[in-house]
Each structure stands twice: as C-alpha cells, then as structure tokens.
A and B are shown apart, each in its own frame.
Chain A
Amino acid sequence: MRIDGKGRIDRTRPVTFTFDGKAYPAYRGDTLASALIANDVRLVGRSFKYHRPRGILTAGSEEPNALVEIVGPANVTPNTRATVQEVFEGLVARSQNRWPSLGLDLMAVNDLAAPFFSAGFYYKTFMWPRRFWEGLYEPMIRRAAGLGRLSGRHDEGVYEKAWAHCDLLVIGSGPAGLMAALAAGRAGADVILADEGAEPGGRLLSDGDAPAWLGEVLAELESLPNVRVMTRTTVTGAYDDGTFGALERVGLHRRPRPNLPRECFWRIVARRSILAAGALERPIAFQNNDRPGIMMAGALSAYLNRYGVVPGKAITLFANNDGARQTARGLMAAGLTVSAIIDSREDAPDEPGTTVHKGAVVIDAKGRHGLTEITVRKGAGEFRIATDCLGLSGGWNPSVHLTCHLNGRPRWSDDLAAFVPSEGAVPGMVAAGAANGSFSTHGCLAAGLAAAAQSLAALGMTVPEVALPAAEDAPYRLSPLWAVPGRKRAWLDFANDVTVKDVALSAQEGYRSVEHMKRYTTQGMAPDQGKNSNVAALAVLADATGRGIAETGTTTFRPPYTPVSIAAMGAGGRAEGFAPQRFLTSDQASRDRGAPMIEAGLWYRPGYFPKPGETTWRQACDREVVMVRSSVGVTDVSTLGKIDIQGKDAGRFLDLVYTNTFSTLPVGRARYGLMLREDGHVLDDGTTARLAEDHWLMTTTTAAAGLVMRHLDFVQQAFCAGWDVRFISVTEAWAQFAVAGPVARDLIASALGHTPGLPFMGCMDVTIQGVAGRLFRISFSGEEGYEIAVPTRFGEALFRDLTARAETMGGGLYGMEALNVLRIEKGFITHAEIHGRTTAFDIGMDKMISPKKDCIGKAAAARPGMTGPEREQLVGLKPLTDSALTAGAHLFAQGADLTRENSSGYVTSVGYSPTLGSFLALGFLRNGRARQGETIRLVDRLRGVDVLCLVTDPVFHDPTGEKLRA
C-alpha cells in the first residue's frame, strides 16, 4: 500500500512493470520490492528446498527470499534480489523455483514431506544402490531444489571492467561514511565514496525523513573535484595491498541502451580505507517465522521512509531491543496502526500509542500465502493477535565481512551480542559506525570523523574543521533472543531452508564445529551467504553444544560480499575477446586464397591453401607437400620468436643457456641449439645465428617465444647480471618467409637479382628490391631451404612477390598442415614432442649436451632416472597395413592386455606422407631406440584405432640430409 507524502520516489515519473505476466504501476525510485509492496503483492517466491511460499524479508542486498528472474531483450538474469533491482518502464520480472505457478506450486509437496528432508537427509537416504546417484537421485534432487534457471544462451550483454585509484576508499555512505568522506575531501585527499544504494545516505534515508544537513553534505561532496561518489556500487572483496573488488550496477536500473554496460567490475586500489558498511538486522526464529508478511522491522522503516509503502494495515512488531520502537513511532506518525509490540524483555519500556506485551514472545504465525495472525505467549498464557504484517528485530549484526577477507577473525562483543571487527584485520582499513558496533546516529557521525582523522594522519594530511550535525544518540539496549522454543519448524536460514532443528540435529550427530555444522546443514551457503542467519545459527549451535558463542566462533566470510556476475568479472572476455589476436603481414593475402586459419600462440596461421577441385584439406595438404619436395614452397614463419642478443659476453651467455657450444660459431653462420630448463627437461629448440662478432639472433618456437624470453631474463638476472650481454625481442620487427624445395635457390636468386652463395646454416645481410633484409639458409622441411626476413612494413609486399615468383616456377604457398607433414617426414620435433616432460636423452639429443662446459639443466639432466632404458624414447612409427594413425594413441607390446599399466608409450604427432605413401607417426616408446624393427600395437580407444606398426628411426625421409646440404 502506498502512503501519501512519504518516500523519496519521483511521483512525477510513473512507470509500469510486470511481475509474472501481470502489469503493475510504480514510480521511478522504487525497487521491485517496494513496487510489489505498493501493489499489495505479498507472495514473491518459493523457498529452496520445501517450496514454502515466501515474501519480502528485507529492504537491502541481504534479501534471502525475494529472488526473481529479470527478463531483458537479450538476457534472462536469475536470482536478482527484488530489493536491489530498481524498476523502470517496461521491466519484466518473473518468480522462480515454482511449478506451474507461484500461487500453486506442486513442488510444495516437499513441505508436507518435511520430516524426511531434514539436514543430512540426502547423505543418508540416497546411498544405495550406488549407481542410482548419478542417473536418478541427483537429477531428481536438482530439479526439486534450486533457485533461478540459466537461459542456456550466451550472455551477450555489455559488461565492463575498470580500475580506479584513490587515497581513501570509504565503503558505505551512511552517517559514518559521509562524515569520513567529507573530512577527507576537505583535507584534499582523493576519496572514493562507494555505496550500494541508488542514492547516498544509507540509514539516514531509511530511519526517518532525511535530515536537512544531508543535502548540504552531498552538495559539498559533489562540488569537491577530489571526491568521487560511486552509487549503486557494492565493494565486494578486500584483497592484498589495498586492492578492492567492487560491482557497479551501471545499466541494470534503466531500460537497456546501446553500448551502456549492464554492470562494471571495478578494481579499486586505495592507500587507506574506511569500512562504514553499517549493520544488518537479524530475525528471531519461531514457528512459521517465514510466512509472507513477516519482515525486518528496519525494513519496514526503509519501505515507509524511502519508498512510501507499507506491507500491511494492522502491523505488529516483535523485538528484543529498543531499536524497533523507532519503526513503531515512524509508522504511527504516518497514520498507520501498530496493533502491538511484543517485547521479549520483562523490563521493556512502554510505548505511547500502542500496546507493549512485555516479557512476551511470538510462538507461531498463520497465513500460508500471507500472514493473518500470530500467537503470542506471555508467561503461562497464550493469545492471538490478528495482523497482516509482523516486523522482527533480534538486534543488529555489524557488517564485518570485508574485515575478514584477509583471514581476520571478528571479535565477539557480549555488550552488543554481536561480532565486531578486529582492529587491523585488513591493513590500512578502519571500521567505523554501525559496522564497528556504534549504533546511534551521533555515534556513527563521530566515529566517521575519527576514522577519517586516523586515515588522514596515516596519509600525512591534516584534519580539517568539520562540525558534527546534531543527531539522536540513543543507547543500544537489547537482551539476546535467538530462537523461541517450539515443536514445529522455525527458520534460521530462509534462503537455504535451514531450521533451528537442523542445527540442533547437526550437533546431535557430531557435527559440533561451526564449520561442520555449516556444511552439514548448508546454513550460510545460499546467495545471501548467511547474512540473515549466521549469528543466530551459531548461537543455536552454541546452545546445543553447551558452549558460549565466542567459543563456538564463526565461519569464514569470504569474497564476494554480495553476488557478482561472472559476466562482469569476465567483461570483454567472451569469444574472440578471450585473448589478443596476432595477425601476420600475410594474413589478408592468405585469406584471399581461401586459407582457413589455425591459432598458434595467439597468431593466426594459414592451415592450407585450397585449390579449385580440392574437396578436403588432405588433398590440399598432400599437394603442398609434393610441391615442396618437387619444386618450391613459400610459407610465413614470422611467428617464430626472434631475440636479438648483443655484448662481449653474448657467446658465453649462449653457452650457458644452450646445451651445445655457440661461442665457437663463426660470424655468418647459424647453429641448431637445444635449451633445457633447470630441472633438466627440454625447454625449447631453435637456431641462433651470429650476425657479427658480438651480435646474435636467436630463434625460438612460436609457442615458447615468451617463455624463452622470460627464461633468458631469469638466467641473466640470477646468474650473470654483471656480464656484458643484453637482449630484446625483435619478433615483431621482422617479417620472415621460408622458401623450401629443390628450386628454392632459383626463387631466391630471382627475388634478389643474384644467386646467393650461401652454404647450409649460413646467414647474410641482403638487399631485396631496395629493402635491407637478412637471408638464412635453414630448413624445417628437409629440402634446401632459405628464410628471408625484411622489416615488417614490407612483409605483405614481399609475401605477395615471393608467392608470384613461386607460382611461375611451378611452386606456391604451403600452410601449417603441409609444414607439419614435412617435418614429421624428417623427424623434426615441435612442442608436441618437447612437451615439458621429455629430456634431451628422450628425444635422442643427449649428445648435444656438451661435456666441455656447464649449461642450465645439465646437472639435473644427469640425475638417475633422466636417462636409460626405462625412459620412453622418441621413435618413428609406420603402419604395417594401409591405415590411419592418430596422435594421442597408446603403444602396447603385441599380446599384452590393453590396460593402463601395460601402456609402453604414446603417439605425439601423425600425418599422411604423400612422399612415402603412408601415414607416419612420431611417438615415445619405452626403450624405443633399442626396439627399432619391432612390431608394436598402436591403440586409440577414443577413436577406435588399433593398428600394428613398425618401430623405426624418427627420420623417415632423406636420413643422411643430402637434400638439405645440396
């Protein structure tokens, strides 16, 4: 029901929204919860386990009951708290976890079967037969239990991630946060004031009519250029070094606009922080305390004062403290009837205008779809009161959550009957106001100012003059009351349907530690993370186990404080946004020829170049292999890592990082090198050329370019910082193309205008069509091969030029597929073979570890077990019959059972060799080098391959290397 003259909603801006298909009026400034209350909608959801009808419990982000689906044009967002979602014109909301409808939920049969559904029920009941769990029990339970549903589609909404930096982060903009921000702002500090609400003010907006000074303070904060007020922004986590996570609702409160993010996930880095997050009111457990119409007393105030709505006509309150009196007075002042206050304290004060039942408790509530009546017990007597709304107040819990995110433990305060933050739990953070257990408005204002003074002193700034506004300073008086004894179920955790009995049962069955109780009952594990139930649950546990609450302790609060959508944390990372795309200079030319692209180390490389009439990639690949072996092929190899190394000690440095010797290499020559990790396994391989006496160019594999650079940096900084050696990546500076085949030399001669007299493994500076470049004679195909490099800007032009020349010579382009077949035919390794678990011995290169010098990994490579017949060694495999082979297949001795233990190796690379007319494979076989000539069984059960293969030398083609050196 809407109350005239109350609330901060904009009555000049009416809007219409729908809930479960029905249209309702509301105003801009309403939350979905306040708008539903205005329209007298009491039933808003069904509970997790028992499908109990539920109404709105709170007015904040801690809401456990009123979770709905928001249906947008491109998104369906489940588990949205109606208390947080603001209404806008056209908002579509749906209740969830009910079938067929919210009013008639057939799953509510679970509620009748409640005796069977107590805590631990699943663990005990669905034990046998064991195979039924996955197929029957789990799907059944999952269907019955639960919250919202996912749409099953990609979330293509716009999300954002951003960074912010400040001197002081103030979390919460209630009285404490406002004073802190004002003082720090006046002092000149860079302040971020973050608040989850749509407007700053916190409890000042909820407790009564907002004080006049609030507007002045907000106007001043607005005018200060060094203060940034971030509304609709929840600080969700405290992390190392003053870093905080925060979620901002950027567009969720309005009709979707193009490009406007729905949410932004902020990483805020602050030198100091003040936690002024306030406190959360806690319910009292009694029989059927989950009826729609029962809500927190403070929430009643918030709905009245912020939104001008009340959820009932005959309101009652049930409290163990004085705080609820403010709610009663506010309601009465607005002309509403407060039928009675049930106060558990014998010495509770009277309240003008209503009846106070002292020393009384509510023991039951009636009204399945909406509260109609409560039963009160006073002394030995019981009586009933007709009411459609009951406000609960069991006291307040300071929001200590963020102070626990770095493993701090809160401290139990007997005075407040609540946990309060431990000082210094988060470095640089001061808790102030209600978050620190100071509950009066005056106390909050003063604490906020004091926290600012403390923070400014730490920042080396002086505290400015700030006058505290006058405010109430009522003492906080309460007498703890957690649960009213009763025969039937009394709810603690509304969100996960955990009752007082469940917690007691947990203790009874031996789960007496608070952490065990949490797991056994699932209390505190719902989206509200136990904000409404933690302290009461552990008070019940303490009672059941005969310990004090301080001794019982609390479970750990972890980030996030409130739910954070994965879409916001992963903003921009969907599909191609996952990683940068690296494009070759030849990219467009390759795509123009229809080449499909393969991603390799972020690079996009052409797989093959289809020709008219070719219907499969194999036809193109086979043709390209034959082309390279018979005439000439061109391919872009710019992706290989290129590291420029200079200095008098560069040769010495290379001797240290490579297993073989480089310092003796003559200028103008290149050498193949093998690099080990410190643990003796192979890190990478490639060629390094000596361009001048003190100038070298190292080539790495595409995938390991960054890894090798990091390794070199480590070696230099850790072991030889004083050496005269410097290196830097030049990968991106050069476009490099491989030209390979029997007529490669003719092609190079045609492009250069002269025949280069370059021996195998030679390198030289060249000028190609007016551009200074470099020419290397190296080969990854086994044919006579060159690699020609020019500055990247000329890459595309040279690629097109070389392609045209190759085609006039009967050759052309070849892609990654053919490149792979060519290297398998030659037994050349890639990271398929040097995958991180193989040693130089395994790949047959142990002789490359020079005995004359030390190198990284040499000592470790000599450890027992790193060499010998028990190692799986690189071999070639050739099928005995005309059959396809698959990488990932395992190798078994003939006649051996196909069990895991009998696997004596595996296949790393396969390809069809048109040169040899057969599939070929490289793989690792236990004691493989001694087993050449043996027949072995190759089995791939995933793809149904079972082939007998001949074990061979890994080099299938031109084993003497005559072609290379031609």
Chain B
Amino acid sequence: MPDLIAKPALGTMPLNLGQIVLTEAPMLETHSIQPYPGQEKAVSKALKEIGLAFPKPNTWLEKAGLRIVWTGREQAFLLGGVPPAGMPAAVTDQSDGWVTLTLEGPGARDVLARLVPLDLRHVKKGDAARSGLGHMPLILITEAPDSFRLMTFRSMARTAWHEIHDAMTKVEARRAAS
C-alpha cells in the first residue's frame, strides 16, 4: 500500500517586497513540554542531556540544532528534535499544529507593528513572546532585531500570510511615497 503524502501548510514561494522577505519555513519536529508543578528544575536537569534548559519567560535557547522556546506559563516548545524520555512533564507532539513563517529584512519590525501589539524596540536574538498576530495566536521568536520566526495555527496559515503580505505592501507603499 502506498504511503500517505505529507503536505506543508501553504507550499508557497518566498515573497520579496522592498528589502523584506516573507517565507514559509520548513516544518520542524515540535514538542510541547509542560513541567508538572514544582518540576521545572528537574525538567531543566533532564534537558541538560541535549545541552538545553527550561527557558525563562520570553526567551529561547539553542544547542546543536535544537531550540527550546518559552511559549507560555509553564510551557515550552522544543523545536527540531525529540525531548529526552522520562521527564516529569507532559509532552505532546505539536509538529503539525503550527505553521512557521520567517520575516526578515530592514523594516520587518515596521511590518510587525501593524499586526503585533508588542513593544519590539529593543528585541534581540534569544527573545520569544506569546502574543497575537491580528486576531490569530502567535509565538514570536526573535533571531535578530530584524529577523523573526512567527508561529501561528496551521489552519490559519493563509490568513496569516495574507495579512503579513498586506502589511508589507503598505510599509513598502509608504517607503516609496516618502
């Protein structure tokens, strides 16, 4: 029997507008990690095995291609691999639940200012935030002050793409008019 074919959320080509690029990132193996009450330290200890720790609120850590991102109260996502077994934490596979878009280039923050209510004036590599992208849920991962990964619900991928594209268009139109 033939295997089922996997499909990405969008399967879209990158979008360049001015100096800003919007891309659908390849799917990454993603697991949520929620330490049970009082177990954050024990979970950090277990994560040491892969060179990581449970991240502090609004941050992410990275080691050897594995990244752990704070995603909410007592919750983190491990991106790019499988968490160590036997941690005192609830673990779920979230790989298929999210679409990840990257937004890069000078002016990326101007685009986000149209959709995300956060203060991004002083963002830096290692910052993470749970917020909203318009009316959609958002995990915002900062890789550099003008380079972001945006995760939102996979079913909303088309709306997310459309709204970011729309914001990029307006930012570019303002630049061209100035």
- The residues of A with any CB-CB pair to B shorter than 8 Å are 158, 160-166, 190, 250-251, 254, 257-261, 267, 269, 572, 579-585, 602-603, 644, 646-647, 721-724, 726-734, 753, 768-771, 790-798, 801
Contact = CB atoms under 8 A, between A and B. Distances in A.
Contacts of B96: 732-734, 791-793
Contact of B170 (A261, A753, A771, A794): A261
| Contact-residue bracket for chain B | 35 or more
A731 B7 contact: no
Contacts of B32: 728
Kindly name the residue among B74, B116, B177 whose own CB sees the greatest number of chain A CB atoms within 10 A: B177
A580 B160 CA distance: 8
Nearest to B2: A769
Interface stretch (B44-52, B59-67, B141-149, B150-158): B150-158
Given A254-B177, A260-B174, A261-B170, A733 B93 contact: yes
Contacts of A257: 173, 176-177
A251 B176 CA distance: 12
Contacts of A251: 177
Contacts of B6: 793-794, 797
Contacts of A769: 1-4
A728 B90 CA distance: 9
Nearest to B160: A580
A239 to B, nearest CB: 13
A198 to B, nearest CB: 14
Contacts of A790: 4
B170 A158 contact: yes
Contacts of A164: 113
B173 A259 contact: yes
B95 A791 contact: yes
A729 B119 CA distance: 27
A572 B4 contact: no
Contacts of B173: 257-261
Residue with the highest number of chain A CB atoms closer than 10 Å, among B2, B136, B154: B154
Contacts of A260: 170, 173-174, 176-177
Given A259-B170, A261-B173, A647-B36, A165 B95 contact: no
20 contacts: A161-B114, A162-B113, A164-B113, A251-B177, A260-B177, A261-B170, A267-B117, A580-B135, A646-B34, A646-B92, A647-B36, A722-B37, A768-B4, A769-B2, A770-B4, A771-B4, A793-B96, A796-B5, A797-B5, A797-B7
Contact of B121 (A190, A647, A729, A801): A190
A724 B36 CA distance: 6
Given A580-B156, A732-B96, 10 more contacts: A251-B177, A260-B177, A267-B117, A579-B135, A583-B155, A646-B34, A728-B94, A733-B95, A768-B4, A794-B4
Contacts of B154: 732, 792
B170 A644 contact: no
B84 interface: no
A646 B90 contact: yes
Interface residues of A: mostly helix, strand, loop or mixed?
mixed
B37 A723 contact: yes
A733 B90 contact: no
A724 B37 contact: yes
B92 A728 contact: yes
A793 B173 CA distance: 36
Given A726-B90, A733-B93, A768-B4, A163 B174 contact: no
Interface in B113-136: 113-114, 116-121, 134-136
A580 B159 contact: yes
A731 B170 contact: no
B97 interface: yes
A725 B108 CA distance: 39
A773 to B, nearest CB: 9
A835 B120 CA distance: 41
Contacts of B155: 582-584, 603, 732
B89 interface: yes
A727 B73 CA distance: 12
B106 interface: no
Nearest to B177: A260
A603 B156 CA distance: 9
B132 to A, nearest CB: 10
Contacts of B89: 726
A595 to B, nearest CB: 17
B158 to A, nearest CB: 6
B116 to A, nearest CB: 7
Nearest to B114: A162
Nearest to B36: A724
Most buried by A among B90, B117, B155: B155
B70 interface: no
Contacts of A795: 7
Among A267, A723, A790, A791, find the residue whose CB has the most chain B CB atoms closer than 10 A.
Answer: A791
A8 to B, nearest CB: 20
Contacts of B136: 580
Contacts of A794: 4-7
A269 B7 contact: no
Nearest first, the 4 closest Cβ-Cβ pairs linking A and B are A726-B90, A646-B90, A732-B97, A770-B3
Contact of A796 (B7, B94, B166, B174): B7
Contacts of B118: 163
Interface in B162-178: 163, 166, 169-170, 172-174, 176-177
Contacts of B92: 644, 646, 728, 730, 733
Contacts of B113: 162-164
Contact of A581 (B93, B117, B159): B159
B54 interface: no
A250 B27 CA distance: 38
B4 A798 contact: yes
A935 to B, nearest CB: 47
Contacts of A166: 121
A539 to B, nearest CB: 43
Contacts of B97: 729-733, 792
A234 B25 CA distance: 39
A728 B75 contact: yes
Contacts of A582: 153, 155-156
Contacts of A583: 155, 157-158
Given A160-B114, A260-B174, A165 B119 contact: yes
A583 B136 CA distance: 14
B8 interface: yes
B53 to A, nearest CB: 19
A768 B160 CA distance: 31
Given A269-B119, A793-B6, A793-B27, A259 B172 contact: yes
A246 to B, nearest CB: 13
A260 B169 CA distance: 8
B6 to A, nearest CB: 4
Contacts of B176: 257, 260
A572 B133 CA distance: 13
Contact of B98 (A161, A250, A732): A732
Contacts of B153: 582, 732
A163 B5 contact: no
A796 B8 CA distance: 11
A229 to B, nearest CB: 13
B134 A572 contact: yes
B130 to A, nearest CB: 13
Contacts of B90: 644, 646-647, 726-728
A585 B9 CA distance: 9
B169 to A, nearest CB: 5
Contacts of A724: 36-37
B114 A259 contact: no
Contacts of A732: 96-98, 153-155
Contacts of A793: 6-8, 27, 96
B156 to A, nearest CB: 5
Central interface residue in B5, B136, B153, B166, by most chain A CB within 10 Å:
B5
Nearest to A733: B97
Contacts of A721: 37
Contacts of B163: 572
